[in-house]
Structure 1
Amino acid sequence: MNEYELLDSGHGRKLERFGQIVLDRPCAQAVWSPKNQNQWKQADAFFTRKKGLEWRGRDQLPDSWIATVNGIKMKLSTTDFGHLGVFPETRAMWDWITETLVTEAPKRKEPMNFLNLFAYSGGATLAGAKGGAHCCHVDASKGMVQWARDNAKLNGLEDHPIRWIVDDVNKFLKRENRRGRRYDAILLDPPSFGRGKGGELYKIEHALLETLDLVKGVLSERPCFVYLTSHTPGFSPIVLKNLIQQLLGKGSFESGEMLLTGAPETYPVPSGTWARWKP
């Protein structure tokens, strides 16, 4: 079941449906003209960054609501920065994670360990859980980790083996290395700029190489995949592919753009990049 749809895009905006709620938000890469201007009248709320950060119509929306995105129930809420608690461009990745883990599981005697770094509201963590993996969800924001736990409960996965960790990612990885903990599948979505649990500054151009080196250190002897995503301008699919190819050497490498999609006649909107490795 899927209750997300890109309805239209253009003139630097995107019109999306999340369950019964339709939102009009900024989208810098949508430089073309909208296909159906009349469709935009159905928006329940509008977010703009032109004069600061402002929602229009937000007071008419519920404080939170539930939408099923590619089979995963997600709690959504409008934030002051225009985010909702889900990045729907990652939903194809969720499907790939679940399918890959399900396919690999019969070849293993024990459940696989899946590590989700910079894990946000947990869509990919729950995709890993649906694939049967034991999961570890790491994010520096206590509020986002609680949001992810709420999403696990919505999906009946509150009792699934998931470790919920509030910590700076690099500090966490160093600790896991020292403890000898290893993971069979790893996803990381590093921010362009962020703060760790203790206020540590994370700037992707300076910190990512260290993060990747630490990721390599916690990979198991029989890894399933490493998946790297980015929303940072300039970090193209080839940049991400080069990074993990340099890190991991031989294997199978793929890369591409993450897309917002809707009906076949709707222009897909590029919204980030990805690269992945399998042995």
Structure 2
Amino acid sequence: MTYHLLDSGNFEKLEQVGPYRLRRPAPQAIWQPSHPALWKTADAHYHRSSSGGGHWTYRNPLPENWTVNFHGLTMKIKLTNFGHLGLFAEQGPNWDWIRRQVRGAKGRVRVLNTFAYTGGSTLAAASAGAHVVHLDAARGIVAWARENAALSRLADRPIRWLVEDVSKFVARELRRGNRYEAIILDPPSFGRGSKGEVWKFEQHLPRLLAQCRRLLSDAPCFVLLSAHTPGFTPLALQNLLADMTAGLGGELHCAEMVIPEKEGGRLLPSGAMARWTPNS
């Protein structure tokens, strides 16, 4: 079983996630749904609270977790208290792109995946032969990612699983002299590190990118930056990568991340991304 976006509109999305249908917020879906009757078939509905957070209501009982196959990976799905599932479907095309970059590289590819969440990008890189450092500040999320590695039959791949604040780890890697051919960043709008360190996107990201530039090896393969922070467009992310990679040459590309509806092809905007690759 896999993932499909069935419909969107009225600030929500209707998703087929394996055998279950879920209804969740989608703030940019300001249009009308295409299939209004279909929404009544949702097994669970996440309601966002105006004061923050939210809660699920259920039409049918659901298991604590289940799995889906998506873009070549097997991912554990779990309904969280903040409305996430452990899968961001808009990242699927990025996973395919990561695989192509790693397979097309001439030598060893060491990947640093920061804010790595449940590991889709980590596993995509590892499945293509990369050595990966998977870095996230939340211990439970890293454990979830390791489960996904086992489910995807990638548990034996060279992946280091680290629970740590990203900025502190990057600074320490610089002192150690470690380098990477590829860096992936998917920073949150706001977050806290493993020891309570505060992260704010617009305040801390430019400095982190400058540090990550110094982590790139002499034969860099790619940098991928994605975000879901309101107000930060693909072009804004590309400009940040242009600053980071100044003097390296290469090519920049940016785009809106989207999820296509299964029927009709309407696209649901779901974040922004920018990529850098060296000249071929």
With the length of structure 1 as denominator, give the TM-score of the two structures.
0.96
The answer for the alignment partner of 1:75 in structure 2 is: 76
**Aligned counterparts, 1:137-152, within 5 A:** 137-152=134-149
Partner of 1:214: 211
User: For 2:258 and 2:29, how far apart are their aligned partners in 1?
Assistant: 12
CA shift, 1:74, in A, is 0.2
Cα distance, 1:18 vs structure 2? 1.0
1:119 pairs, out of 94, 116, 119, with 116
Measure the CA separation in 1 of the matches of 2:261 and 2:34. Answer: 13
Rounded Cα–Cα distance in structure 2 between residues aligned with 1:147 and 1:50: 26
Structure 2 Cα separation of the partners of residues 214 and 253 of structure 1: 19
Q: CA RMSD for the aligned pairs?
A: 1.3
Task: Work out whether residues 10 and 33 of structure 2, in 8 Å CA contact, stay in contact via their aligned partners in 1.
Answer: yes
Mapped partners of 1:163, 1:133: distance in 2: 12
Please give the alpha-carbon distance, in whole angstroms, between the structure 2 residues aligned to 1:181 and 1:119. 19
For 1:178, give the aligned amino acid. R
| Kept after mapping to 2: 8 A contact 1:6/1:266 | no
Amino acid at match of 1:162: I
Contact 1:58 1:78 in 2 (8 A): no
Task: Tell me the secondary structure at the aligned position of residue 244 of structure 2.
Answer: helix
Contact 1:8 1:266 in 2 (8 A): no
Alpha-carbon shift at residue 266 of structure 1 (Å) = 3.9
Q: CA deviation at 1:232?
A: 0.4
List aligned pairs for 1:218-233, cutoff 5 A.
Answer: 218-233=215-230
Q: 2:276 aligns to what SS in structure 1? A: strand
Q: State the partner residue of 1:260.
A: 259
Which SS does the other structure have where 1:63 is aligned?
A: coil
The aligned counterpart of 2:157 is: 160
Structure 1 unaligned blocks of 5 or more: none
Q: Report the CA distance shift for 1:58/1:197 in structure 2 as closer, same or farther (over 3 A).
A: farther
Residue identity opposite 2:191 in structure 1:
G
Separation in 2 of the partners of 1:181 and 1:11?
Answer: 48
Whether the 8 Å contact between 2:261 and 2:268 is mirrored in structure 1 is no
Which amino acid counterpart does residue 26 of structure 1 have in structure 2? P
Residue 263 (structure 1) shift? 2.2
List 4+ stretches of structure 1 deviating above 6 A.
none
C-alpha distance in 1 between matches for 2:71 and 2:22? 19
CA distance, structure 2, for counterparts of residue 67 and residue 149 of structure 1: 16
Question: Structure 2: how far apart are the matches of 1:226 and 1:138?
Answer: 16
In 1: Cα distance, 2:210 partner to 2:55 partner? 39
Query: Is the 2:6–2:263 contact (alpha carbons within 8 Å) kept by the matching residues of 1?
Result: no
SS in 2 for 1:202: strand
Partner of 1:95: 96
Report what 2:18 is aligned to.
19
Residue deviations 1:216-271 (CA, integer Å, cap 9, x gap):
11111100000100100111011000001011022200000111123250421001
* Shift of residue 130, structure 1, vs aligned partner: 1.0
The answer to whether the aligner puts 1:29 opposite 2:55 as a matched pair is no
In structure 2, C-alpha distance between the alignment counterparts of 1:65 and 1:202, rounded to whole Å = 31
Q: Aligned partners of 1:161, 1:138: CA distance in 2, in Å?
A: 14
- Counterparts of 1:226 and 1:70, CA distance in 2: 20
Q: Deviations over 1:8-27 (max 9, x none)?
A: 00011100111111100111
Q: Which amino acid aligns with 2:84?
A: H
1:50 CA drift (Å): 4.0
- State the alpha-carbon separation in 1 of the partners of residues 71 and 41 from structure 2: 23
- Residue identity (%): 48
Residue identity in the other structure for 1:208: L
SS at match of 1:211: helix
Displacement of 1:200 after TM fit?
0.3
- In structure 2, give the amino acid aligned to 1:95: D
Distance 1:58 1:144, change over 3 A: farther
Distance in 1 separating the partners of 2:60 and 2:174? 47
